[in-house]
Amino acid sequence: MHQLNNRQDYTGGRSAIYAENGVAATSHPVATQAALDILRAGGNAVDAGIAAISTLCVVEPAMTGLGGDCFMILSKGGVGKPIGLNSSGRAPAAATLEWYKEAGISEIEVPTAHAVTVPGAVDGWCRIHADHGKLDMAQILAPAIKAAEEGYIVQPRVARDWGECVSKLARDADSTARYLFDGKAPKVGDRVKLPELAKTLREIASKGRDGFYKGWVAEDIVAKLTSVGGLHTLEDFEASEPTYVEPISTTYRGHQVYEIPPNGQGVTAQVILNVLEGYDYASLSELDRVHILAEAAKHAYARRDALIGDPDFGPVPVERLLSKEEADFIRSKIDMTRAAPQGEPDRFVHRDTTYMTVVDKDRNALSFINSLFSGFGSGITAPKSGVVLQNRGSSFRLIEGHPNAIAPRKRPMHTIIPGMLGQGDKMVMPFGVMGGQYQPVGHAALISNILDLGLDPQEAIAAPRSFAYNGEMLLEDTFKPEIWEGLRARGHDVKSQFPVGGGQAIWIDHERGLLIGGSEPRKDGCAMGY
């Protein structure tokens, strides 16, 4: 990282964390502490990552859960090509396009059983642990179990997000009984216990993936889903399986940016970066940078919505999308004086995901994202296990021939994307930015903030965010008035937005033996090291 003498001061009220032996960065202080405790106990980045994510499933239940999906990128020792794991769930075997047509369903609604794909998260945890972990799973899950059994204190952002989901939770009696209190969301400082979830975590600690995908937990989830019209079977759960994948990469300013390939949308972030690389971005005004990012994103998202689906069911033209010729073509369509119209977007707006990253003393680096999709997912809870079920299936299209059309055992297009930045044969930064549709723009902005503007991870995460989406230019209030006015003059429909997304990143300084961590000031969490 270089430093620009005239750069704006972005800190988010906190400084970056500098440490030697290990750093964890998550969206909740309890989860960050859980990861550090595991590292100090002799665990590696994989063990610490699972400890943090499982804890987040308890203390940030609107954002993530056992009933969701996950993706990971793992660097072993910080050198060589990273490993990718896709643990996104599949549609039930009975979920044919014809079935939905005959049932008169033209759109998969969020608060329905049809939006629930088989949860892949726990499968992913158990696979990466079996192949690359060190400690016993019972020790790793102990912090999450303790939080669920003994209770935890609700933090400010958690309370806000929970409060936005009251009406969704109230639709389901089992969700109301377990996640509402006298019909209300908990307030800041309240203590919450989730005993059913603790019991499920203990089952996983004892039996591994079979503790979730077989036996009473699976039976509980399937019974709940079928009771509200779902097509799920126990066979669908037993057939669940994560997939190791080779991360796709593009270059940016002499670095490699790695993402999980489709069915994830990581390629969208890489398309945006390819476009930005053609500009002398650091020398541009802030107004020009925001405008270019918006215009690049419009083109990248249009390609995402038209072309990305499960590659097991049809080809996805990743090589073409990542070509420099494609980037040149997109740049030729960008007018620096005028905003282009935006095509019809994906109809689902969501920002509810949890991302965390950890690097250990051996420089194993884990980029890890776990999500329910919308806040509290589908809002459907299995009663005995306390598992809130995702709504990933709501991104499927019920359009014959579309790459993302629903089909038996098919994975939907996913918004969650962990990232990894490399330089030569070394990995220099695991990173991620939560925020649903915003994530590709968030990845591109974070990388550009570091490599173009010379910001450290904390400054890069805290910098003001913009997002051109659904025909609007959304700006955080931290932008200066002249940026708002300049964008309006170029034809952008500028609107204010609540702080969007949530990022974490850890820079690995191999030469000095340092780890530099940054965490999202828009959320409750922190980066910590030792």
Of 353, 354, 357, 381, the catalytic one is 353
Q: Is 32 a catalytic residue?
A: no
Among 63, 123, 117, 124, residue whose Cα is nearest residue 395: 117
Three-state DSSP at 132 gives helix
500 HSE (CA, 13 A, CB side): 27
Characterize 385-402 residue by residue with b for buried, 16 or more Cβ atoms within 10 angstroms of its Cβ, and e for exposed: bbbbbbbbbbbbbeeeeb
CB 262 within 8 A of CB 316: yes
Q: What's the full length of the chain, in residues?
A: 530
Residue pair 32/18 in contact by the 8 Å Cβ criterion: no
Q: How far is 480 from 174, CA to CA, in rounded Å?
A: 46
The closest of 234, 273, 233 to 255, measured between CA atoms, is 273
| Six-digit token string for 78 | 């910080």
Distance spanning both ends of the chain, measured CA to CA: 22
Closest C-alpha among 64, 213, 201, 212 to residue 138: 201
- Pairing assessment for the beta strands 472-475 and 494-496 based on DSSP bridges: parallel
Contact residues for 41 (Cβ-Cβ < 8 A; gap 6+): 135, 139
Per DSSP, what are the bridge partners of residue 434? 502
Query: Whole-angstrom Cα distance, residue 397 to residue 43?
Result: 42
Q: Edge to edge, what strands does the sheet with 419-423 contain? A: 17-19, 514-519, 502-509, 426-434, 419-423, 255-259, 248-252
The radius of gyration of the chain from alpha carbons, rounded to an integer in Å, stands at 22
Contact 57, 83 (CB under 8 A): no
> Going by C-beta distance under 8 Å and a sequence separation of 6 or more, which residues neighbour residue 492?
291, 294, 339, 468, 473
**Residue found by looking up tokens 């020398």 in the block:** 283
Q: How far is CA 32 from the centre of its chain?
A: 17
Contact between 23 and 529 (Cβ < 8 Å): yes
Instruction: Tell me the C-alpha distance between 344 and 476, whole Å.
Output: 23
Contacts of 514 (CB under 8 A, 6+ apart): 18, 19, 20, 508
Whether 501 and 480 have beta carbons less than 8 Å apart is answered as no
Strand partners for 18: 516
Q: Which residues are identified as catalytic?
A: 353
